[in-house]
Amino acid sequence: MSNIRITYTGFIAFFVSLIGIITGTAFTLILTRSLTQEEYGTWGLISGLIAYVMIINLIVSYWNTREIARKIESGRTAIVGTMVLSIGAIMIYVIMSIVMSKQTNIDPDTIIFALILIPPMFLNGILSAINLGWKPHVISYATLAHGIVQVPFALLFVHYFDYGIDGVIFANFIANSISIIILFKYAKPKLKNNLRLFFFKSWLRLSWVPLYPGLFIVIDTLGIVVFSAITGSVLGIAIWAAANVSPGIIKSVQTISRAVYPKLLEGGKKSYLEDNFAHLFYFNFMMTGIVIIFAKPALFALNPIYQEAYLVVVFLALRNFFFVLTNVFILNLGGNETVDINENATFKQYIKSKLFYPHTLRLIQASFFISLLPIGITVIMQNDFETLDLLNFWALLLLVVTIPVTIYLYKLTKKDLGFNFPTKAVLKYLISATITFSLVYVLIENYLVYDESVFDFIPQVLIYLSLSVVIYFMLTYVLDNKTRILTSSIIKEIRKKS
């Protein structure tokens, strides 16, 4: 019997992510209120560089999830193989750090010190991949612990001890370590098999498959490097990092579909897809609406110096709405693909498969983006526009290039999986969201008082935030039967656990 429960896992993941929003916001507030703008920009650059080398982790984690879901015991080999790959990732990170420190006049020692985060992040990644293949809800437990632990240690090292970027690194290292302990506990049953070099050779032989979509991540996040190199400063990156905080929470919506991928890998009926897509759109509309109407208050809470970047937040929120859908479509297509079951599958078969083709579309999208970004930045700078104009262009360009790929992948997913799209439910959610967030936006604009004291300002914001969630839920509950059924199932699950 399968351990994977779609709705149960999805809602645990989503509600944990909501708690993560609280802890993540607290963590970011500590950084933005304790670090200088240059230091915060440096942390944004470090995060971008680490994101590049973390792609190497996919060489093992990508295949290991698929194998675990199909009852192939390769967990122990995956752990050892991942840690070997982390050594290469560290070497690449050091080289990139030296190059970027020269481009931006940042102290190279600060960036290089952050390499201590790479081994625990690699280990965290592979343990998450193992658990995703058979107990995906466990990842939520580790994520919750990571967020909770990160805040007090950031407060201690960054705010009280004033360690600056080093304090941020310490806090992240400890949080990752706690997450590893939890993931390891649940992954242990999948780590009892012997080491088999066969698995590692197979992963390396097919490494081009998971690394290929990684090219999208590299190019998509290359904007940070391009912007820093052209402007010669990290001040714009500091604003960009702040503007990405609230839109980033929209990405948590895709956790609603976390269990669909391993469930598809197991095989069997796909009757759960329609309901899962309805849930996905329900929360995608809600989270995107919240981020848009609270764009200015959120930036003000981080630090009043960032509040003028609210339009950047709006563009990024809309972009992440489509980005979430794209990610889910690609995962579902990959979960329904069986080419890797055949050990003798040819290069040509992999190229034509859904493990490869959808990522080609995203790579084209990212290449188009990164080609236009430096041109646009250069032109805008020559016309004496301000940094904010550069950031608005950057965010708008990301939105524009994302939409066409999302639409095409939706059509491809619908054709491949053969599910019925919940059109009526989605339209009801859209209408409810439009009414709710238009009303709350008017209230915010007329009655919210921008007090520089975080302790006075945030309680006000929370009142309006709670109001928007309640109104949205009430409207959808009245209009939509799926919402009423979902609410009933959640209540039954809570009673069962209590």
CA angle 408, 210, 406 (to 5 degrees): 15
Q: What is the pLDDT of residue 347?
A: 85
- How many other CB atoms are there within 10 angstroms of residue 447's CB atom? 10
**Residue 196 — left, alpha, or beta (φ > 0 → left; ψ -120 to 50 → alpha)?**
beta
In whole angstroms, what is the distance from residue 31 CA to residue 26 CA? 9
In whole angstroms, what is the distance from residue 125 CA to residue 54 CA? 9
Contact at 8 Å (CB) between 249 and 52? no
The secondary element (H helix, E strand) that includes residue 452 is none
In whole angstroms, what is the distance from residue 134 CA to residue 130 CA? 7
Longest dimension (CA), the chain: 66
Q: What is the pLDDT along the chain (498 residues), one digit of tens a residue?
A: 455 566 666 667 777 777 877 888 788 888 888 888 788 888 888 888 898 899 899 999 989 988 888 888 888 999 999 999 999 999 999 998 888 877 767 778 888 999 999 999 999 999 999 998 888 878 888 988 998 999 999 999 998 888 989 999 999 999 999 999 999 999 999 888 888 888 999 999 989 888 888 788 778 777 877 887 787 766 788 888 889 988 988 988 888 887 788 888 877 677 778 888 888 999 999 999 999 999 999 999 888 888 889 999 999 999 999 999 999 999 889 888 888 888 888 888 888 888 888 888 888 998 899 999 999 888 888 887 788 889 999 999 999 999 999 999 999 988 888 888 888 999 999 999 999 999 999 999 999 999 888 788 989 999 999 999 999 999 999 988 888 887 777 676 656 654
Q: What is the pLDDT of residue 337?
A: 86
Global pTM value? 0.78
DSSP assignment string, 157-208: IIIIS--THHHHHHHHHHHHHHHHHHHHHHHGGGS-SPP-HHHHHHHHHTTH
In whole angstroms, what is the distance from residue 337 CA to residue 246 CA? 34
CA dihedral (130, 135, 138, 143) in degrees, to 10, reads 50
In whole angstroms, what is the distance from residue 10 CA to residue 15 CA? 9
Residue 344 carries which DSSP code? T
Q: What is the pLDDT of residue 32?
A: 82
Q: What is the pLDDT of residue 1?
A: 42
Contact at 8 Å (CB) between 359 and 212? yes
DSSP assignment string, 258-307: TTHHHHHHH-S--TTHHHHHHHHHHHHHHHHHHHHHTHHHHHHHH-GGGG
